Amino acid sequence: MTVRGSGSEGFDAGIAEWLRRRALDPTAADASVEGARRHSVAVNDRSRALLADPFVPADERDERVDAPHGPVRVRVTEPVDREPGATILFFHGGGWIAGDMRTHLQHMRRLAAGTRRTVVGVDYRLAPEHPYPAAFDDCLAATLHAARTAGPDERIAVAGDSAGAQLAASVAIACRDARVPLAGQLLIVPVTDVAGGYAGPDTDARYPSRAERAEGYGLTREGMRWFAELYAPPGEDWRASPLRAPDLSGVAPAIVHTAGYDPLRDEGNAYAAALRAARVRVVHREWTTLNHGFFGLGGVSAAAERAARRAVADLRGLLDG
């Protein structure tokens, strides 16, 4: 199923004003990696403060998961009135170079409250200090640990936004290959094809949104080029480009949400189509008036709030069966 539209035409006016004000934040002027990290913290703190009814968890705690390279820090978010049966592994966005458990705090709380399931956010290693495949390795290790330690009736799902959605999609492929069943995957504005590093004309020509939405709507194509350069994945490896996987059959049922004013729109749409062609059960929604970061902008835009709630409801529906 593919659904398009969010009830109006043109770019969301509330988000346009938000982007104008965001560009004036003092952290926006620093183009370094550390500057990008500080900017991510600043804008996510500001957007979270705008939520009219922020989600409050029953409990949050930091834990560590053993992995081959060393422990991975995770944050466990427990909802009020938790329902048994599933745990969600969440991988944050940030272009593989930024983002953490603070920037995506409300993302995890929204998922926990809306699905009434435990959410385990993975604080994976960031590039350029830890280039590809460090982020993938951490996310997979945390997912496999959750699967190994789950109770007999507990299922595991993966979720993420942007680069985190890429990690979720690739982890879902790896879990299929390892015969570790997942209940589902929620992919919000996913990166799906880094071949060419967002600087290759042949690859970029496949996805018109890379040119149509190259700048002016938050995430830019030049930003994606920089992220890919710092993370440094090989272009054809499905661990970074799930759309390049030779076979997608048998991966977990998927929910894919894309945005009309996002340079990643068309590769996200292409991944939903590829999953469907592989006979994977897919719910795909394209929010035509929204931008790349809509999942965290519920306090900025009523349309973004509706879309974020719909994404969570889609995942809850999948987990509830």
How confident is the model over 177-224, as pLDDT tens digits?
Answer: 999 999 999 999 999 999 999 998 989 999 999 999 999 999 999 999
Give the burial string for 117-154 (b: 16+ CB within 10 Å, else e): bbbbbbbbbbbeebbbbbbbbbbbbbbbbbbeeeeeeb
Share of residues in the chain with pLDDT > 90 (%): 93
| Cα distance between residue 182 and residue 229, in whole Å | 31
DSSP bridge pairs for 185 = 158, 254
Determine the pLDDT at residue 129: 98
Q: Which CATH architecture has domain 2-320?
A: 3-Layer(aba) Sandwich (3.40)
Domain extents for the chain? 2-320
pLDDT band at 235 (very low <50, low <70, confident <90, very high): confident
Please report the pLDDT score of residue 321 as a whole number. Answer: 84
pTM over 0.95: yes
139 pLDDT band, cuts 50/70/90, is very high
Q: Where are the alpha helices (DSSP H) in 7-98?
A: 13-22, 33-49
CB-side neighbour CA atoms (13 Å) of 315: 34
Helix H or strand E encompassing 202: helix 201-204
For residue 8, the model assigns a pLDDT of 56
pLDDT at 103 (0 to 100): 97
User: For 12-70, what is each residue's pLDDT tens digit?
Assistant: 999 999 999 999 999 999 999 999 999 999 999 999 999 998 999 999 999 999 988 89
Pairing of strands 184-188, 254-261: parallel
The predicted-structure confidence for 273-295, as pLDDT tens digits, reads as follows: 999 999 999 999 999 999 999 99
pLDDT above 70: residue 225:
yes
Residue 1 has pLDDT above 70, yes or no: no
Q: Let me know the angle formed at the C-alpha of 244 by 242 and 247, rounded to the nearest 5 degrees.
A: 85
The pLDDT value recorded for residue 258 is 98
For residue 199, the model assigns a pLDDT of 94
Where b means 16+ CB within 10 Å and e means fewer, 88-101 reads bbbbbbbbbbbbbb
Q: Which pLDDT score, from 0 to 100, does residue 6 have?
A: 52
List, by residue number, the catalytic residues. 162, 262, 292
Angle at 126 between CA 239 and CA 51, to 5 degrees: 100
